Amino acid sequence: MAYNLNLGAWGSVFAVPSVVVDEHIKIASAYHLKVLLYLLKNNNTPQSDETIASALGMHTDDVKDCLSFWVERKVISVTDEVVTPHKEEPKEETTVTAFSVPQPETEEKPKRKLPSATRPVRPEPGYVLKCIASDPEVAVLMDEAQLVFGRLLSNAEIGTLVMLRDTYGLPVDVIIMLMQYCADNNKATLAHVEKLGIQWGLECINTMALAEEKIRQMTQSYSNFNRVSTTFGLKNAGSPTKKQLEFATTWVSTWSFSDDMLRFAYEKCVDAKGTMNMSYINKILEKWYMAGWKNPDEVKDEAKEPAKKSAKKSSKPAEIDTSYDIEAYENKSIFD
């Protein structure tokens, strides 16, 4: 296959520094390149981070990250008004005023903060950029993530993966396994990976063996729920809650109830409540499990026994209680 240049598109061109391709193309993301190309094309017009974000359809924080990336590598300079190609000036530092670009930290890797289940602690943009440029593990993680999700990741998304590694203690191979599990279950989103990753971190799922066991348990739980929802005749059950998964695992894996017993309990619940109630069904099945009943016939037979006993009692003449409760009589008021 031959490729030819469309010369019609060369009516307006602009230069790109060779160093971008020679030194930085391997670690630069698509967002880094988008911001740089836009700046090079509009280098004679003052640009703000809001203007760039609006023109490229990006978040302002991501634009700031990208500017920081190129400022750090001395490809661009930021003055009070204009972003320009960088010029070497000895003994003079580049000033950053218009863009408030966060500079990478020069200190060692920060100490791990205590994880929070309600408010994830993401690393600073400068630290993420440093990891992308210098940490081979992050490079591997980025490559695998882009293969799983089928697209390039933004700096914010890369920061989420770095957070799972550094803040929540998940090794790179465990994060990759987690991403693949989500993709296999049609939930290949960074939001879902982040949610499960935080949970794994709090549960100290920090080895491949523990991750494999966790995935086995999760797969079994969803399988149990699918069996229960199918037996109940539920359609479009959606994503089960944690409590629903626990109920299904107890009924199927722990108590080993058959489909017939599950369906019978479901019908009992609907007859009594008029709707399905998982907690009510759990009480029914718990009673049956404690009684050792394994099939609907045993439940029906047991239900007949109280009726027979009640019938026998009603056939006997009622005995009149001639005893008196003296204390109750003395305490009784004439107004009772």
- Dist. CA 163–CA 120, nearest whole Å: 8
Distances in Å between the Cα of 117 and the Cα atoms of 7, 120, 175, 200 are 56, 7, 18, 11
Give tens-digit pLDDT for 87-131.
555 544 444 334 444 444 444 444 444 444 445 667 887 888 888
**DSSP secondary structure code for residue 5 in this structure:** -
pTM: 0.51
Q: What is the mean pLDDT of residues 218-222?
A: 90
What is the percent of the chain where pLDDT is above 70?
Answer: 72
What is the number of other CB atoms lying within 10 angstroms of the CB of residue 315?
Answer: 6
Q: What is the DSSP string of 246-271?
A: HHHHIIIIIS---HHHHHHHHHHHHH
Q: Which residue bears the tokens 């930290």?
A: 105
Q: Which residue bears the tokens 């080895």?
A: 207
Q: Is the pLDDT of residue 321 over 70?
A: no
Q: What is the mean pLDDT of residues 135-152?
A: 89
What is the percent of the chain where pLDDT is above 90?
Answer: 27
Determine the pLDDT at residue 280: 92
For 83, the enclosing helix (H) or strand (E) is strand 83-85
Determine the pLDDT at residue 181: 92
260 DSSP β-pair partners: none
Give Cα 11 distance to the centre of its chain: 48
85 DSSP β-pair partners: 76
Determine the pLDDT at residue 98: 41
Give tens-digit pLDDT for 179-213.
999 998 888 888 899 999 999 999 999 999 999 99
Of the chain, the end-to-end C-alpha distance in Å amounts to 105
Report the candidate in 88, 54, 53 with the shortest Cα–Cα distance to residue 67.
53
Core vs surface per residue 98-132: b (16+ CB within 10 A) or e: bbebbebeeeeeeeeeebeeeebebbebbbbbbbb
Q: At what angle do helices 155-166 and 172-184 cross, to 10 degrees?
A: 120
- CB neighbour list of residue 265: distance below 8 Å, 6 or more residues apart: 257, 281, 284, 285, 288
Looking at 111-115, 168-172, 260-264, which range is the least confident one? 111-115
Give Cα 154 distance to the centre of its chain: 17
Determine the pLDDT at residue 38: 86
Report the candidate in 84, 27, 139 with the shortest Cα–Cα distance to residue 75.
84
Determine the pLDDT at residue 208: 93
**pLDDT, averaged across the chain:** 76
Q: pLDDT-based confidence at 330, cuts 50/70/90?
A: very low
Give tens-digit pLDDT for 222-256.
899 999 999 988 876 667 888 888 999 999 989 99
Determine the pLDDT at residue 323: 40
Q: Check if the beta carbon of residue 24 is closer than 8 Å to that of residue 73.
A: yes
